[in-house]
Structure 1
């Protein structure tokens, strides 16, 4: 699979340019990046769920999921929450600025194994980023999948990412259930925590795979809620967030026992998570 991780030096980023920046929420920005080498950009391939390292030169690099789908390759999209030194530096960048990219890294969602299945996405806040790449892949290959339901929530309407796409998702046949934690003026969708809305919607586990990502406390209760609804461990996929430094399994920063999240993840089934739980 062609990528922008150098064969000679896997730590050497490829140069890119920020084409567009979208202010998703008060503390989340989306960056649309094009590699400076047209041949490299044309050859770039990745799978939904894979991640990349973004470099701010003179500051450092951090790992973010590629949340544009592989079916749409005019740019690479990354959404960044401002939480630390590197992310603050990224938020200071402007359209047209240079940026380093090392990608793709890690594993991916099992797209081919999901064919013919009904799909349930359960996301919270920035957790919609890794779900978006798989969701849009399925939208672009709509005839290959069954029902697609998305339950997506945040603290407030202003904390929901990709609001400008919601109508497009619904037009593509996605059953989109939006919720916020409490009432807000003008909000006409659901009100309640994501796990509560999941229990209320109660999507059947028959021939369905559930994929969840969001804050750890949300995932904890979502996993419990899915079990209550009858989902088996191998019907549940999620992503793990641990500090990834090298991205290639050498530094040991992201290991859980003998599992390296940057290589063996970030996508795991609940079956795998239960096998790893003693190491967490």
Structure 2
């Protein structure tokens, strides 16, 4: 019997982790293979569905970090531990950590763009012997907007962590300025062994990638995510189509050799 990809399954809310006033992580029951950067469609009957990136992966669960910005997500925030939500997925290709093993890894992410790369940051801070080095540059608007606050002490211990805020006063925990400010100062023994990931708002991604290329990286050494373009997950609705690519099927993660041509 052929599986109907449109039919969702029920998933239990195991834990709700607040980060900011409008951003919570919902830890959902799930058994199966999933990669950082993939996404699930989360739905509530009579309200609709929304694509949500995977922000964490564990034994019997996935983390979905949700911002309360629309009709569906407002309703999702009314569901708490013990309740169930409908989900289907995972969709997309995600970040394969094998592409970055043995490399000097640079991860540049801003705002909610930190969510889809959190799994990669967790993997290499837990397995530091599997990369040459790890540099994490994460940027937020203000201290009140920082996601996954409990992760950063561990990242600081295991990686070269540069946590930035757009404005305010510099402290021992964070710098002030855009993430692009800190890319030109990065130094590596062998640029050919560097692999970079960039995820965030379009302008931030554009200028971060340009800064990395000016540093000497080549297109094929950079990966980006077009996760803001995700829609049905099945390539049927056409909302995510850019040229001949369907972001929900061919992405949302793209190597920049291909991703640079995806102009929306």
With normalisation by structure 2, the TM-score equals 0.92
Secondary structure of 1:276's aligned partner:
coil
Specify the alignment match of 2:186 in structure 1: 202
Query: Could you tell me how far 1:243 is from its partner in structure 2?
Result: 4.1
Q: Report the number of matched residues.
A: 262
Secondary structure of 2:238's aligned partner:
coil
- Provide structure 1 residue ranges, at least 5 long, that are not aligned to the other structure: 1-5, 36-40
Using the alignment, how far apart are the partners of 2:51 and 2:101 within structure 1?
Answer: 29
Specify the alignment match of 2:245 in structure 1: 259
Q: What pairs with 1:2-21 in structure 2 (closer than 5 Å)?
A: 7-21=2-16
Of 6-15 and 154-163, deviating more is 6-15
Q: CA RMSD in A?
A: 1.9
Q: What pairs with 1:122-141 in structure 2 (closer than 5 Å)?
A: 122-141=108-127
Using the alignment, how far apart are the partners of 1:242 and 1:162 within structure 2?
Answer: 20
Query: Could you tell me how far 1:106 is from its partner in structure 2?
Result: 0.7
Q: What pairs with 1:50-199 in structure 2 (closer than 5 Å)?
A: 50-69=38-57, 72-171=58-157, 173-184=158-169, 188-199=173-184
Specify the alignment match of 2:208 in structure 1: 222
Query: Could you tell me how far 1:137 is from its partner in structure 2?
Result: 2.2
Using the alignment, how far apart are the partners of 2:170 and 2:226 within structure 1?
Answer: 34
- Is 2:50–2:231's contact at 8 Å kept on the other side of the alignment? yes
Using the alignment, how far apart are the partners of 1:262 and 1:203 within structure 2?
Answer: 35
Specify the alignment match of 1:3 in structure 2: none
Q: 1:65-84 CA deviation, whole Å, 9 max, x = no partner?
A: 11113xx3231101111221
- Is 1:242–1:261's contact at 8 Å kept on the other side of the alignment? no
- Is 2:238–2:246's contact at 8 Å kept on the other side of the alignment? yes
Query: Could you tell me how far 1:51 is from its partner in structure 2?
Result: 1.2
Using the alignment, how far apart are the partners of 2:81 and 2:159 within structure 1?
Answer: 32
Using the alignment, how far apart are the partners of 2:217 and 2:211 within structure 1?
Answer: 9
Cα 1:269–1:73 change in 2 (3 A) is same
- Is 2:219–2:257's contact at 8 Å kept on the other side of the alignment? yes
Query: Could you tell me how far 1:107 is from its partner in structure 2?
Result: 0.7
Cα 1:203–1:237 change in 2 (3 A) is farther
Q: 1:25-64 CA deviation, whole Å, 9 max, x = no partner?
A: 22211110114xxxxx2xx111222111111232111111
Secondary structure of 1:46's aligned partner:
coil
Secondary structure of 1:166's aligned partner:
helix
- Provide structure 2 residue ranges, at least 5 long, that are not aligned to the other structure: none
Using the alignment, how far apart are the partners of 1:190 and 1:102 within structure 2?
Answer: 39
Using the alignment, how far apart are the partners of 1:245 and 1:192 within structure 2?
Answer: 32
Q: What pairs with 1:25-64 in structure 2 (closer than 5 Å)?
A: 25-35=20-30, 41=31, 44-64=32-52
Using the alignment, how far apart are the partners of 1:63 and 1:7 within structure 2?
Answer: 24
Of 232-241 and 54-63, deviating more is 54-63
